[in-house]
C-alpha cells in the first residue's frame, strides 16, 4: 500500500473513510490524495448542479486537508467535475493508486437503483483495493 485515494464529500461516512485512510497511511507510510467530485449530470448544461456546486466541494476539500494535517499527514487535494463514480475510477487508474477509501451512504436497494451507488461502482470497476466504510 503506497498510494491512497480518499473520496470525500464531507458526510459522516466520508469522515469515517478519512479516519480509515489516515490510519492506513500512517501504518504503511503511504501517501494520501483526496478527491471531491463536483457532479454533472447528462441532460443538464455542462457544469455543476446549482445545489451541489464547486464552493461546497472546495470547503469539503479544505476540511479534509485540515483533518489530515491534524493527524500528521499532508494530502494532495483534487476537485474535478463529472460523474463521481466514473471520475474516481479514472483518477485511481491514471494516478496509479493502489488503494481507494470511500464511504457508503447505506442506500437501500431502491436507492441504489434510482441514484446509483458510487462506492459499489468504484468497487466493481477498479483494480485497486477498495475499502468501503459506513
CATH number at 57 reads 3.40.50.620
Its domain, for residue 38, covers 3-133
Percentage of the chain beyond pLDDT 70 is: 81
Residues 85-107 pLDDT 10s: 999 999 999 999 999 999 986 44
**Pairwise pLDDT comparison (95 vs 54), residue with the higher score:** 95
Predicted confidence (pLDDT) at residue 47 exceeds the cutoff of 70 = no
Task: Work out how many domains the chain is built from and give that number.
Answer: 1
Please give the pLDDT value at position 110. Answer: 38
Residues 6+ apart with CB under 8 A from 38: 48, 52, 53, 54, 57, 79, 80, 81, 82
Amino acid at each position: 500500500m503506497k498510494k491512497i485515494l480518499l473520496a470525500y464529500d464531507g458526510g459522516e461516512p466520508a469522515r469515517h473513510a478519512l479516519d480509515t485512510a489516515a490510519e492506513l497511511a500512517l501504518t504503511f507510510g503511504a501517501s494520501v490524495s483526496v478527491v471531491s467530485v463536483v457532479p454533472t449530470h447528462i441532460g443538464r448544461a455542462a457544469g455543476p448542479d446549482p445545489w451541489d456546486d464547486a464552493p461546497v466541494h472546495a470547503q469539503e476539500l479544505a476540511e479534509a486537508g485540515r483533518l489530515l494535517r491534524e493527524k500528521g499527514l499532508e494530502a494532495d487535494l483534487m476537485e474535478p467535475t463529472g460523474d463521481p463514480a466514473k471520475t474516481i475510477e479514472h483518477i485511481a487508474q491514471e494516478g496509479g493508486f493502489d488503494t481507494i477509501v470511500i464511504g457508503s451512504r447505506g442506500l437501500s436497494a431502491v436507492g441504489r437503483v434510482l441514484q446509483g451507488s458510487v462506492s459499489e461502482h468504484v468497487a466493481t470497476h477498479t483494480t485497486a483495493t477498495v475499502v468501503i466504510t459506513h
